[in-house]
Amino acid sequence: MSERTAPPPATSSPTPAIPYVPGLDGVPAAKSSICFIDGDQGILEYRGYPIEALAESSTFEETSYLLLWGKLPARADLDKFTRDMATNRDVRFRLIDLLKCLPDTGHPMEALQASIAALGMFYPDRDVDKPEDRYNSAVRIIAKATTLVAAYYRLSTGRDYIPPKDDLSHAANFLYMLTGEDPEPDVARVMDICFILHAEHSMNASTFAGRVTASTLADPYTVVSSAIGALTGPLHGGANEQVIHMLQRIGEAEKARPYIEDLIARKQKIMGIGHRIYRVKDPRALVLQKLASQMIAKRGGDPLLVVAQEVEKVVAEHLGAKRIYPNVDFYSGVVYTAMGLPPALFTPMFAVARISGWLAHWIEQLQGNRIYRPDQIYTGTHNEPYVPVEERV
């Protein structure tokens, strides 16, 4: 039997040069020219362009170009990029076979993460140092992600895969691959705006996860699948799905007050409310609220929107003093539901749009890259005597 001696006094961890900040709140993790947010004034800009102007006048294809390459494209460049995106939508049949093999009990986000990681295995031209490989990988991942989401959705709900069309916009083609019907132009435009609004949002959990992976010089498929994993959680991208479940549980506007007051009394988080950065209403929520109201007015109303507005009112009364307001996820689910899209697709739709932002960060991270290696404050013990398993109590 090993003799048990008292462990020598623990050596204390060296005092870190930088104080520990839970959640790295306010700690800069990179220098970036991709996205600007002023959370006090509700300003969001991609490459210096206000989100409201992009939602009004741009397309997802043009916004993706802007994010990736840093400037709005000239006509010829936009046409080439749009064409490249359209002709890269189809995926190899073995990827469709892979999706068929995934259990239909899985979440579409899990299928997206797995299939984006697998996608890279089909394309050896992913040398992160080569500009043409970077361009081809970026176009390929953005273009094919919607195909993978739509394919898994249809296959896991017992329907056939619908191959993409290359004569539709990115947003319209996504809707086409879900239903097999060309969407109405106004519905396709709403999808396009939703993609623009979700395309980038600076250094959040998923972007940070992607940049950490990028800093190891991993290939872009792996970078994006890391970021997708981080986006799945209910405190991040998963919130939009939770919002619609909450609104459906509430059901009627009159039931919103007791429901929300009960959550607040039990110190529970209300999904779609609050943001680490915004201390006013999220500017994307403003655009989405307007879109939801316009779409729903055309259809003669929707009880979910009325419930959402009542929830917002009760939250403002109780949490307004804490400067907690609706975020992007609060109204996106209402818009998607009005478009007839199922909640399980909400987070994947966020992901396929955000891929443009993640890849912009991947390209930026590669310039002057240094591998991420933060520190920790060790709080465990030292020099524990090893006791054989039979002698442990």
* Distances 29 to 67, 69, 155, 201 between C-alpha atoms, Å: 19, 21, 40, 14
In this structure, how many other beta carbons lie within 10 angstroms of the beta carbon of residue 279? 14
Question: With CB under 6 A as the contact rule, which of the stretches 9-17, 73-81, 138-146, 272-280 interacts with ligand COA?
Answer: 272-280
Choice from 126, 170, 275, 354 touching ligand COA (CB under 6 A): 275
Q: Is 284 in the site for ligand COA (CB under 6 A)?
A: no
Choice from 273, 334, 345, 363 touching ligand COA (CB under 6 A): 273
Q: Is 327 in the site for ligand COA (CB under 6 A)?
A: yes
User: Least distance (Å) from ligand COA to the CB of residue 23?
Assistant: 6
Tell me whether residue 10 or residue 235 sits nearer to ligand COA (CB atom).
235
Q: Is 235 in the site for ligand COA (CB under 6 A)?
A: yes
Residue 201 bears catalytic tag = no
**Residue 281 half-sphere exposure toward CB, CA atoms < 13 A:** 14
Q: Is 274 in the site for ligand COA (CB under 6 A)?
A: yes
**Residue 158: left if φ>0, alpha if ψ -120 to 50, beta else—which one?**
left
Question: With CB under 6 A as the contact rule, which of the stretches 49-57, 59-67, 76-84, 268-276 interacts with ligand COA?
Answer: 268-276
Residue 230 CA to chain centroid, in angstroms? 8
The residue count for binding ligand COA (CB under 6 A) is 16
User: Least distance (Å) from ligand COA to the CB of residue 201?
Assistant: 8
344, amino acid identity: A
Question: With CB under 6 A as the contact rule, which of the stretches 104-112, 134-142, 323-331, 379-387 interacts with ligand COA?
Answer: 323-331
Choice from 109, 199, 239, 334 touching ligand COA (CB under 6 A): 239
Q: Is 322 in the site for ligand COA (CB under 6 A)?
A: yes
Residue 130 CA to chain centroid, in angstroms? 27
Residue 107 bears catalytic tag = no
Give the Cα separation of 217 and 230 in Å (integer): 19
Tell me which of 192, 275, 282, 361 is the catalytic residue. 275
Tell me which of 329, 361, 375, 382 is the catalytic residue. 329
Q: Is 276 in the site for ligand COA (CB under 6 A)?
A: yes
Give every CB contact of residue 297 below 8 A, 6+ residues apart in sequence: none
Q: Is 27 in the site for ligand COA (CB under 6 A)?
A: no
In this structure, how many other beta carbons lie within 10 angstroms of the beta carbon of residue 11? 9
Choice from 80, 107, 269, 281 touching ligand COA (CB under 6 A): 269
What are the tokens at 44? 């969001």
Give the Cα separation of 309 and 302 in Å (integer): 11
Q: Is 200 in the site for ligand COA (CB under 6 A)?
A: no
Tell me whether residue 322 or residue 373 sits nearer to ligand COA (CB atom).
322
User: Least distance (Å) from ligand COA to the CB of residue 378?
Assistant: 24
Tell me whether residue 172 or residue 351 sits nearer to ligand COA (CB atom).
351
Q: Is 212 in the site for ligand COA (CB under 6 A)?
A: no
Residues involved in catalysis: 275, 329
Q: Which spans of this chain sit near ligand COA (rule: CB under 6 A)?
A: 235, 239, 269-276, 319, 322, 324, 327-329
